[in-house]
Amino acid sequence: MNVKYGYFGPKGTNSEEALYTYLGSTDVKAEAYVSIDRVLQAVKDGIITHGLIPIENSIEGTVNLTLDLMAQEKTLKIVGEVVLQIKHNILVKRGSVKDDVKRIISHPQALAQCRNYLNQNFPEAEFCPVGSTADAARIAAECGGVGAIGNHKAAEHYGLQILEESIHDCKENYTRFIVVSKQDKELTGPAKTSVVVSITDRPGGLYEILREFALANINLTKIESRPAKKSLGDYLFFIDMAGHPKQPEVKKCLENVEDMSASFKILGSYPVWNRESNPGHENTYHKELNLNELRQDVDIIDYQLVELLAKRTQLVSMIGSLKPDPMLIRDRKREQEVLAKVKTIAAKKGVSPHLLENVYEYFFDYFVELQKLQATRQADNK
């Protein structure tokens, strides 16, 4: 089957650049569509086999229309993603200089993301929003005295000169795009899975679902809520996670989540976008390790450990209340069963089984004494 690609936006937009970054080549012919829903419809109709649409930006947030359309979608799956660093530039007619620019035009988001630069460098210029960065480049190519905010692709396509590069106020500006198709993609490396769920209106409903991921040690990379468009207070939850449903722990977790959800759908599983799997592209997102952020992650884990230990203490106390005889409190057989389980888990997770054995031996001694004290108090109160 011939593979045909399409994307949202005119030629010269970040969407076009994202598609060619995803493909690793600019030699592939692709169709441009004027809206996100038309991209999806073209895939469903078989006009194209794959469509690329934006789903979130690190500054502006989620593209709500994409989530809403994918929640309703029955035939299309997410089969890929690409993260593109957004770099804004001033594009002008060839031969123009800074003093020639009297009006600056672009998509409203591009203008907003360059506001500080524009105010400092073009204090007398008029700022005008247009439909897209590509539209801005086209107008700049036709009219003198106009500067457009756009990317290198737009400058190349419309024959414009780049007057100033990287004018955006926030340098950490990334947009994530997804690729949708009716065709599943075989996965061989690190994968990500996206699901959408709804829950019944009950206390702790969302907590119960998130707890399943925590218990399975599955990392959630994103969670977003959107109105279900049924009644006020009825929401859908979009969840991105590391892993693939063919992995036993992910499969079991998703089965548990589906069981406790009012509705559940897998939007797709697809390769994780990173520099290692796409070494030829400088625009690929790659987060540098940061000591403070890593320490914050450790602090969060420490807090969770204390919370879990507090919960275990409460449960042990409840169990102790069912053992009124202090002589029957210690259960060596049960302790050995627990030790065997945690040592097996530790070995699988790369933690020293010997370390876990020492920790749990201390737990057992401490909790036995706690239950004995509890039983003594119960006897005294009779």
d(CA 40, CA 359) in angstroms, rounded, equals 54
The least confident of 144-153, 266-275, 277-286, 367-376 is 277-286
Residue 26: pLDDT band (50, 70, 90) is confident
Q: Of 271 and 285, which is predicted with more confidence?
A: 271
Residue 27 Cα distances to 5, 19, 20, 21, angstroms: 12, 11, 8, 11
Q: Domain map of the chain by residue range?
A: 89-164, 191-270, 291-380
Do the Cβ atoms of 83 and 175 come closer than 8 Å? yes
**pLDDT of 286 higher than 70:** no
Per-residue confidence (pLDDT) for residue 202, from 0 to 100? 80
* C-beta neighbour count of 78 within 10 angstroms: 23
d(CA 100, CA 145) in angstroms, rounded, equals 5
Rounded average pLDDT over 287-309:
80
pLDDT digits (tens, 9 = 90+) for 53-68: 999 998 888 999 999 9
The yes-or-no answer to whether 191-270 and 291-380 have a common fold is no
**pLDDT of 283 higher than 90:** no
Residue 285: pLDDT band (50, 70, 90) is very low
Class of 291-380 in CATH: mainly alpha
Residue 279: pLDDT band (50, 70, 90) is very low
Closest CA to 209 of 241, 166, 173, 177: 241
Tell me what the pLDDT averaged over the chain comes to. 89
Question: What percent of the chain lies above the pLDDT cut of 70?
Answer: 95
Per-residue confidence (pLDDT) for residue 210, from 0 to 100? 92
Rounded average pLDDT over 185-210:
88
Q: Of 1 and 179, which is predicted with more confidence?
A: 179
Per-residue confidence (pLDDT) for residue 320, from 0 to 100? 85
**pLDDT of 282 higher than 70:** no
Per-residue confidence (pLDDT) for residue 269, from 0 to 100? 95
d(CA 263, CA 237) in angstroms, rounded, equals 10
Q: At the fourth CATH level, which superfamily is domain 191-270?
A: ACT domain (3.30.70.260)
- DSSP assignment of 194-219 equals EEEEE--S-TTHHHHHHHHHHHTTPP
pLDDT digits (tens, 9 = 90+) for 311-356: 899 998 898 888 767 777 888 999 999 999 999 988 887 899 999 9
Per-residue confidence (pLDDT) for residue 1, from 0 to 100? 65
**pLDDT of 304 higher than 90:** no
Rounded average pLDDT over 371-379:
82
pLDDT digits (tens, 9 = 90+) for 83-136: 999 999 999 999 999 999 999 999 998 999 999 999 999 999 999 999 889 999
Q: At the fourth CATH level, which superfamily is domain 89-164?
A: Periplasmic binding protein-like II (3.40.190.10)
Per-residue confidence (pLDDT) for residue 25, from 0 to 100? 87
Per-residue confidence (pLDDT) for residue 2, from 0 to 100? 86
SS3 29: coil
Per-residue confidence (pLDDT) for residue 310, from 0 to 100? 92
State the Cα torsion 84-85-90-95 to the nearest 10°.
-70
**pLDDT of 382 higher than 90:** no
Per-residue confidence (pLDDT) for residue 284, from 0 to 100? 38
pTM above 0.85, yes or no: no
**What tokens appear for 209 in the block?**
């679902």
Per-residue confidence (pLDDT) for residue 59, from 0 to 100? 85
Rounded average pLDDT over 259-285:
72
SS3 86: coil
Per-residue confidence (pLDDT) for residue 184, from 0 to 100? 84
Per-residue confidence (pLDDT) for residue 276, from 0 to 100? 47
**pLDDT of 280 higher than 50:** no
Residue 11: pLDDT band (50, 70, 90) is confident
